[in-house]
Amino acid sequence: MLPLHAPTKKMNRHGYSGSFDSNHGGAHREKTPTSPAPYMRSTSMGESGSFNISTDKWDDKYRPRSGRIHSRRGTLTRFGALLTGILLILMYFFPSFRPTGVTSFLFPPGEEFNIETVRYYDLSNVGGTSRGWEREERILLCAPLRDAAPHLPMFFSHLKNLTYPHNLIDLAFLVGDSKDNTADLLSDLLAELQSAPSPKDWFGEISVLEKDFGQVIAQDVESRHGFAAQAGRRKSMAQARNWLLSAALRPTHSWVYWRDVDVETAPFTILEDLMRHNKDVIVPNVWRPLPEWLGGEQPYDLNSWQESETALALAETLDEDAVIVEGYAEYATWRPHLAYLRDPYGDPDMEMEIDGVGGVSILAKARVFRSGVHFPAFSFEKHAETEGFGKMAKRMQFSVVGLPHYTIWHLYEPSFEDIRHMEEMEKERRRREEEERRRKEELDKISQTFDVDAKQQFEKDKEAMREASRQGEKQAQQEQQKQQEAREQIKAGIKDSAAGFKKDEQGRMHLADPLGEARQLGGGGGGSGAAQAAKDAASSKERMEADREAILKAKKVEAGIALAHQVQAAAAAGEAARVANVEAADAKAAEEKAVEAKAAEVLAAEAKAAEQKAAADLRAAEHKAADLRVAEVKAAEAKAAEHKAADLRVAEAKAAELQAAEHKAAEQRAAELKAAAAPLAPPKAEDEDVEHDPRKLEA
């Protein structure tokens, strides 16, 4: 309330006036408004001393105006409130209208996000267990590729045969530094794989990456496995593995499986078999088949091993960037290798703790890589790539094991020496085939000479011989019959002519006097009897000529029969000679085969002896390695004992020095105390006879 003495012109809106009765002794002062207000009230001094209130002339000027401006502000406020409500309703029912930065506090995450651009993953559910196929744990299968076109069909056949649920397997490929059609063939095989009739055969997410790392080493066996190329090659391969893993690993993956595409034989249940052990990193044993002349089989992956004292001592002598590689004479590490501990009849579930792992087939939990373990593309503890990965996993306290009796088989890739040896074997095979061909041609010529088929010719010859024998027998019978008839005729003629011959005194037959006999016989007809005797003599002579001709003819028949027998004997001899030649050829072939068989047996025996010698050498080397390890352990123990003895000697020397220092310090303290106590001691008398006068002593 303004004071009563305030000037009226200073009032802005209202004027206050009051009048008091003179009885109160106060001065009367009154404000007279220019125009009375309707609500002005006037009181007299006689009443209870109240005052009047009236408006001034500035009332309309300073009164708040609730007209146009206030009406516009209210409209805008109502419109803004309506628009805000509409936006809130839209953001509630349509999440795409929500700006993440502004409305995140309005819509906190619950069981699931309603914002499409945000994904929520609980990594505690992807740790990896021993029964992953039952818990639907996803596997990322990684395969680096370089000039792998010849091996891709075999690899995809293995993929189709896997028994782990295909929808839980995600595939990731990295094609780098390839000069063949690996990328095109991979695309075709993936399209065929994902177009299988059954949805159960379809795989999950598939990633194909392309990245070159400047790898110039050739893909042949000698180049890839040569000692000089190992360090640089493995560092480049480590980069490829890290690129592939970092690009393909998803938060949903529980396991990561690394697999080379040139694995020839592996169990279809390999994922379940390895997963069942529930280890952080696990690898199988890897061998490869060989031709029989090379021994049949051989350990392949020598990168899975246990650490040895010799290797640790060797690592301390190498440069910082050096990389130790196994299986080469340049680095004699004497490590126990997983491959050499294989027993074909051993327990496939037997585990062996290892420090280095090979890269042919690795199953690892995804949390190992999420924890920072990777494939070092540099020298980590003098190792790189998969061996460095094993070392790093062991350093971070992850379990790394191998299965010595669970074996998969890598594809056999012949070296230059193997190829050279196979070429020599091929030349030898061709030489033997040429000899066999020439021998066969010779036998064919012999067979053709004797009417091609020996057996058929022999049957023909036997039939001809039988026919000739029958004809000869028939002719012989006929000739014999003719001879018999001729003999009978001769005998009859001889009997008839015997009457005309007489024996002389010497017993020789001679013709008698036919005339006298004739006369005797004729009885007087002399002329006719002589004629008859001459006629009989002529007929007898004719019969004798006929007999002579018959005898000559019989001899000719016998000569023909003998000639036939000779021909038959010659044919039999020829057949026997032919058969003998065939048998000799067969015997020679059998002898050559026997020689070849014996040579093969000798080679097999030599190979077996070489194998036994190699096994004996290997066992001797293992024993020697064990002895060396024992010697190294003993040497290390002796060295440790020497260090300990030296430390004891040093400690004893330090203790002696400390004791001497303490004695010296004690002597110094004693000397100091003695020196401090010397002024307090009474002086010695110069003469023992002088009496000790206290006053003199004081002086």
**Tens-place pLDDT, residues 531-557:** 666 676 777 777 777 777 777 777 776
For residues 83-106, give the mean pLDDT: 67
Q: How many Å apart are CA 357 and CA 305, to the nearest integer? A: 7
For the record, the structure tokens of 177 come out as 């530094």
Helix (H, G, I), strand (E, B) or coil at 70: helix
- Residue 101: pLDDT above 80? no
Q: Which of 113-117, 425-429, 472-476, 674-678 has the lowest mean pLDDT?
A: 113-117
- Please say whether the beta carbons of 281 and 369 come within 8 A: no
Q: Which of 93-97, 589-593, 695-699 has the highest mean pLDDT?
A: 589-593
Number of H helices and E strands in the chain, helices first, is: 16, 14
* 68 or 14: which leads in pLDDT: 68
Assigned CATH topology for domain 126-410: Spore Coat Polysaccharide Biosynthesis Protein SpsA; Chain A (3.90.550)
For residues 435-454, give the mean pLDDT: 74
pLDDT of residue 529: 57
- Residue 10: pLDDT above 60? no
pLDDT of residue 397: 96
Q: How many Å apart are CA 529 and CA 516, to the nearest integer? A: 9
For the record, the structure tokens of 173 come out as 């490929």
Go through 109-138 and write b for each residue having 16 or more CB atoms within 10 A of its CB, e for each that does not.
Answer: eeeeeebeeeeeeeeeebebeeebbeeebb
Which band of pLDDT confidence, cut at 50, 70 and 90, is reported for residue 16? very low
Place of tokens 């299968």: 141
User: Domains of the chain: which residue ranges?
Assistant: 8-62, 68-102, 126-410, 420-449, 454-527+536-671
- Residue 107: strand pairing partners: none
For the record, the structure tokens of 573 come out as 């001899």
Q: How many Å apart are CA 392 and CA 376, to the nearest integer? A: 9
The whole-chain average pLDDT of the chain stands at 77
Dihedral-angle region of residue 49 (phi above 0 means left; psi in -120 to 50 means alpha; beta otherwise): left
* Burial of 248 (C-beta count, 10 Å sphere; 0-12/13-18/19+): buried
Q: Provide the H-helix boundaries in 318-453.
A: 366-370, 385-395, 416-449
Report the relative pairing of strands 281-289 and 400-410 from DSSP bridges.
parallel
Q: How many Å apart are CA 171 and CA 159, to the nearest integer? A: 10
Q: How many Å apart are CA 658 and CA 636, to the nearest integer? A: 32
pLDDT of residue 599: 75
Which band of pLDDT confidence, cut at 50, 70 and 90, is reported for residue 225? low
pLDDT of residue 669: 81
Q: Which residue, 382, 282, 363, 283, is CA-closest to 325?
A: 382
- Please say whether the beta carbons of 380 and 388 come within 8 A: yes
Half-sphere exposure of 598 (CA within 13 A, CB side): 6
* 477 or 392: which leads in pLDDT: 392
Helix (H, G, I), strand (E, B) or coil at 251: coil
Q: Which of 8-22, 114-128, 194-208, 366-380 has the lowest mean pLDDT?
A: 8-22
First to last CA, the chain: 107
- Residue 639: pLDDT above 70? yes
Could you tell me which residues come within 8 angstroms of residue 682 by beta carbon, excluding any fewer than 6 positions away? Answer: 697
Q: How many Å apart are CA 213 and CA 238, to the nearest integer? A: 10
Half-sphere exposure of 369 (CA within 13 A, CB side): 29
pLDDT of residue 29: 42
Which band of pLDDT confidence, cut at 50, 70 and 90, is reported for residue 2? very low
Q: How many Å apart are CA 396 and CA 367, to the nearest integer? A: 12
How far is residue 459 from each of residues 92, 261, 450, 464, 581, measured CA to CA in Å?
110, 65, 12, 9, 17
Which band of pLDDT confidence, cut at 50, 70 and 90, is reported for residue 688? very low
- Please say whether the beta carbons of 304 and 426 come within 8 A: no
**Tens-place pLDDT, residues 577-598:** 777 777 777 777 777 777 777 7
Helix (H, G, I), strand (E, B) or coil at 141: strand
Q: Which residue, 162, 130, 394, 380, is CA-closest to 259?
A: 162
pLDDT of residue 259: 97
* 508 or 14: which leads in pLDDT: 508
For residues 128-135, give the mean pLDDT: 95
Q: How many Å apart are CA 11 and CA 15, to the nearest integer? A: 6
- Residue 23: pLDDT above 60? no
**Tens-place pLDDT, residues 194-214:** 999 999 999 999 999 999 988
DSSP structural state of residue 685: P
Q: Which of 19-28, 444-453, 572-581 has the highest mean pLDDT?
A: 572-581
pTM of the model: 0.50
Q: How many Å apart are CA 215 and CA 559, to the nearest integer? A: 98
Q: How many Å apart are CA 383 and CA 676, to the nearest integer? A: 71
Which band of pLDDT confidence, cut at 50, 70 and 90, is reported for residue 70? low
For residues 472-499, give the mean pLDDT: 73
Backbone angles phi, psi at 3, to 5 degrees: -70, 160
Q: Which of 468-482, 532-546, 653-667 has the lowest mean pLDDT?
A: 532-546
- Residue 137: pLDDT above 60? yes
pLDDT of residue 531: 67
Q: Provide the H-helix boundaries in 307-365.
A: 309-317
For residues 672-679, give the mean pLDDT: 72
Other Cβ atoms within 10 Å of 519 Cβ, number? 15
